[in-house]
Structure 1
Amino acid sequence: MTANFSGDNSSTDLLIEHRREIADLLQRIKNRRLQVFGLYATPIALIVTLLAWAGSKIFIWLHGDTPTAVNSVFAAAVFILGVASVIQGLAEFGSGSPWEDSETSVRGLKLDLSLAEEKHVLEARRHTPPVSDRQASYKERIPGEIARLRKESRHYRRLHLLMQWLLFISSAAITAVTAWYDPPQPAKGALIGLGATVTIIAAAAGYFKPRERAFNLQQTADSIEQHTTALELGISPYSAAGEEENLKTYAATVEGLRAEQRMREQQLDQPQQGQQQVI
């Protein structure tokens, strides 16, 4: 029994190590992309700045002196871009580079990532735990899923409230400005801006539907939490004698709720006519 437990721990540690390696490679690829972008984009920006400086002198101030402020701005930009280009070149090609993947292509890092993912799949297939253990671990991940749903629900609820308050304030401001300035010629620009704000916010609220998204997310989180509490208390529909049967029912129910949530999100993303056809 002890040997089996030790073997399970070693396989778990191995899978965790593979996940860490994959996460590290993903971060390294992201960093390397930024490094390569800066390595090539900074000299190009330097050349463009020099050409713009020369072009402004030729086409604008050919027969006069370039303003000191313009020269100062261009000189500062050239200096900063030149220093950045030198520093990045030394970091890329110099000895003792602070960059972890200097002189390494992004394609090579992607290949390492593919190999690491393949290794993880093979090890996971070799050390796949029984269904009951996977169902039990699934139950332990559900509180994080509930917290995520509630967080997204709060985000959309706050977005909806912000849109509504902007609509209220802008609509009231239009009436107030119109009544204050009669005729409204001095405040014509303000009225145009407020009217555009009302139109944009109303269109955005109708398109993104933050209120409906917040309601759906909160409803799904409450339903999953209700089933989790029922499973922990052993009440219907999880009152079977066997824990394995309860976990199986619980996993199927929660996955059904998550599938319904994804379907509602897809319906909200469709145009109004498409939603009516789906319904």
Structure 2
Amino acid sequence: MKAVKENQTALTEDQKKELIKTNSNIILIKNYIETARRRSYYGVALWTIGILAISAIFIDMLIFQWQGIAPYFKHAITLGAVASIGLGVYISSTPGVLYSSFPSDLKDDLKLKSIGSPRRTITQLELELQLLREEKKLTQEAVDFNIERNRAFYKEDAFVYIEELRRESNFYRRVSNFFQMIIIAGASISTLGAGTSYFVNQISIGVAIASFCIAVASSMTGYFKYKERSFYSQQTADAVEHEIEAFELGVGRYKAFSANNSEGKKNALEAFAQELHRLRQDQKMREQNLDQPSSKGEEGGN
């Protein structure tokens, strides 16, 4: 009987290690998916900027013919636009993440090993992510599953959830800071240009371009609410991390539960799962409110 219990304990430990490894691979795959998406965005942004620059040059040649702009400056803009289009097309035509950059442990667990391409696309990575999640689900179901063990796995998933939230928060923060820098730089250039355009008429085109950039950046930040998304993701990640620390230390709401008996541990785990579920639901509601127009979002938040 004792040997049977030892085998069950060893099996449980092996399954825990397998779940930890699977969770790590899931986090890596999600990071690669975000990297692939950013690469796709950069490609589209580059060739879009290049096309806009080329269009501006043609408009200048056909309609405005600004003589105040030096020819070498126009040539530099043209070369930069062509290079931007070429680089953007190259990035867009080679999407995904290099397979050679994957860790060896992750390569061993991947199901799609022979693709015939040096890069893994977003679709392929999402398929790998789905397969890893199915593998994790089968590993969990292989255990003598019950509600207490389900809550324990839910607690382990909280660490993955924290990593996802922090990654989202950092991404939205970088995007928000980028647009804020455009707004600040554009406002400074517009102010300086407005004061000097009285003496140098050619500077007015710079003021118009800076004003256009300010309008685009302000519209993007106002519509997509990057700063609010970053704040809410970071706030939820901190709240979940605080809840995990309180649960492990037995403080706060978990102080009333005795850690010396199994019944107290079950009650504490139940309270933790309930609070974590509430935090995740609150985060989803915030994201839904941010996706709504401003008036509806304000009504939903009241």
TM-score range, shorter chain: 0.5 to 0.7
Could you say which structure has the larger radius of gyration? 1
Q: CA deviation at 1:149?
A: 1.7
TM-score scaled by structure 1? 0.57
Q: Which runs of 5+ in 1 are unaligned?
A: 27-98, 103-113
Q: Distance in 2 between matches of 1:119 and 1:225?
A: 26
Match runs of 1:18-97 below 5 Å: none
Contact 1:178-1:184 at 8 Å conserved across structures: no
1:257 to 1:14, Cα distance in 2 relative to 1, 3 A: closer
Q: Give the SS at the match of 1:237.
A: helix
Q: Distance in 1 between matches of 2:10 and 2:271?
A: 30
Q: CA deviation at 1:207?
A: 0.7
Deviations 1:94-141 (A, max 9, x none): xxxxx9479xxxxxxxxxxx9999999788656452222232233233
Structure 2 counterpart of 1:46: none
1:196 to 1:117, Cα distance in 2 relative to 1, 3 A: closer
Q: CA deviation at 1:277?
A: 3.6
Match runs of 1:1-279 below 5 Å: 1-5=5-9, 100=114, 125=141, 127-182=143-198, 185-239=201-255, 240-241=257-258, 242-279=264-301
Q: CA deviation at 1:278?
A: 2.3
Q: Distance in 2 between matches of 1:143 and 1:121?
A: 17
Q: Which runs of 4+ in 1 moved over 6 A?
A: 9-17, 114-123
Q: Distance in 2 between matches of 1:223 and 1:130?
A: 27
Deviations 1:30-64 (A, max 9, x none): xxxxxxxxxxxxxxxxxxxxxxxxxxxxxxxxxxx
Deviations 1:237-273 (A, max 9, x none): 1121211111111011011101101110110011112
Q: Which runs of 5+ in 2 are unaligned?
A: 30-112, 117-129, 259-263
AA paired with 1:143?
F
1:213 to 1:181, Cα distance in 2 relative to 1, 3 A: same
AA paired with 1:197?
C
> What count of residue pairs does the alignment treat as equivalent?
194
Q: Distance in 2 between matches of 1:151 and 1:14?
A: 24
Contact 2:166-2:237 at 8 Å conserved across structures: yes
Q: Give the SS at the match of 2:237.
A: helix
1:265 to 1:115, Cα distance in 2 relative to 1, 3 A: closer
TM-score scaled by structure 2? 0.53
Contact 2:152-2:269 at 8 Å conserved across structures: yes
- Over the aligned positions, Cα root-mean-square deviation in angstroms equals 3.7
Contact 2:194-2:204 at 8 Å conserved across structures: no
Q: Distance in 2 between matches of 1:13 and 1:230?
A: 24
Q: CA deviation at 1:216?
A: 0.8
